[in-house]
Structure 1
Amino acid sequence: MNQLLTTLMALVVASATGFAHAQAAPAAAASAGAVPLQARIAMCVGCHNIPGYQASFPEVHKVPMIAGQSAAYIEAALGAYKTGERRHPTMRSIADSLSEQDIKEIAAYYAKLGTDEPVAEQPSRQPGAQVGALLQKGACVSCHGANFSKPIAPNYPKIAGQHRDYLFVALKSYKADPKGPVGRGNAVMGGIAKQFGNAELKAMADYIGSLDGELETVPESRFHK
């Protein structure tokens, strides 16, 4: 009888130990196989870290500079692609592949990757009378700041010095067919953009893109250092 009890106890202990190991194994495997940040941003590097790189959809334009952009805005933008508020097939597939934690870490990385030198409180050059009137009509500085690089909320973008052609495409996207393959559904920006013709949007984009800003395209060689 004593031998039988001893055997049973040994089996119970062995089963419990095996169960504990089985429970711990996935956690250990996940920790050991955690994807490093550099691997998670590999899909970003191929476009956003190549100076002068151009996208060809929905039209040819330089991909936006995101190094130095606020983390909250990058998070908001990726979240909008994920939910479909922003429609763009490539960006939607990328955003869908990212977890919320991935998005936070990628956004924080790019926010710190830009320049440490903030721009002056006022724009580096003043607009002409026509463009100044357009900017005033759109009340652009009320959200993006007097220098277009100090928005009123961290989830609004810095736009000073951003690529002019990208700014133009982005502004037009707020006017796009809501059922089309591309476009942006932000109601505030939609209401503003729809006040202007495309030539007027281009004039504003050209001016804002000409300003000194905090945004950069950090070359891939620097990126890996």
Structure 2
Amino acid sequence: MSSHFLQMSCRLLLAIGALLATHISVADEPDVEAGRARAAVCHACHGPEGVSSNPAWPNLAGQKSPYLVKQLKAFREGTREDPTMTPMAKPLTDKDIEDIAAYYASLADAPECDAAN
């Protein structure tokens, strides 16, 4: 083989590799819009904007994504148990969890309660 052919082949392989790496990297990024859609079932307890109207249920708006991922995976895997959350988290894929966490992390923090009221 000629050295020119080898150089062109190497350049082509490098370009393909770079494109694949970019595609894989983008595909792994959490999708806030997909998280919003997947979190629709969460609104009943955690509110449509991630702010719960019941003090028994936590506000999720503005929570850090890694924290939410950790908690949802713990519910899903049974290392953290709750009669409501465990069955809700069971069918979630890792991608679902990442997307849901990104959605809630993208929301504004819940307003602070005024202690005087």
Taking structure 1 as the reference length, the TM-score comes to 0.35
Please tell me the residue identity of whatever aligns with 1:30: I
- Provide the C-alpha distance between the structure 1 equivalents of 2:74 and 2:26, rounded to a whole number of angstroms: 32
- Alignment of 1:38 with 2:25, yes or no, is no
- Provide the C-alpha distance between the structure 2 equivalents of 1:107 and 1:75, rounded to a whole number of angstroms: 11
Partner secondary structure for residue 115 of structure 2: coil
The answer to which structure, 1 or 2, has the higher relative contact order (CA under 8 A, 6+ apart) is 2
In the alignment, which residue of structure 1 is the partner of 2:45?
A: 64
In the alignment, which residue of structure 2 is the partner of 1:220?
A: none
In the alignment, which residue of structure 2 is the partner of 1:92?
A: 90
**Which deviates further from its counterpart, 68-77 or 14-23?**
68-77
In the alignment, which residue of structure 2 is the partner of 1:144?
A: none
Please tell me the residue identity of whatever aligns with 2:2: L
In the alignment, which residue of structure 2 is the partner of 1:20?
A: 14
| Alignment size in residue pairs | 99
Q: Please tell me the root mean square deviation across aligned C-alpha atoms, in Å.
A: 3.2
Partner secondary structure for residue 98 of structure 1: helix
Which protein shows a greater Rg? 1
The unaligned stretches of length 5 or more in structure 1 are 1-6, 50-62, 125-225
Please report how far the alpha carbon of residue 76 of structure 1 lies from its aligned counterpart in structure 2 after TM superposition. Answer: 4.7
Taking structure 2 as the reference length, the TM-score comes to 0.59
Please tell me the residue identity of whatever aligns with 1:27: A
Q: Cα–Cα, structure 1 residues 30 and 23, in superposed 2: closer, same or farther, change >3 Å? A: same
In the alignment, which residue of structure 1 is the partner of 2:102?
A: 105
Whichever structure has more helix as a proportion of its residues is: 2
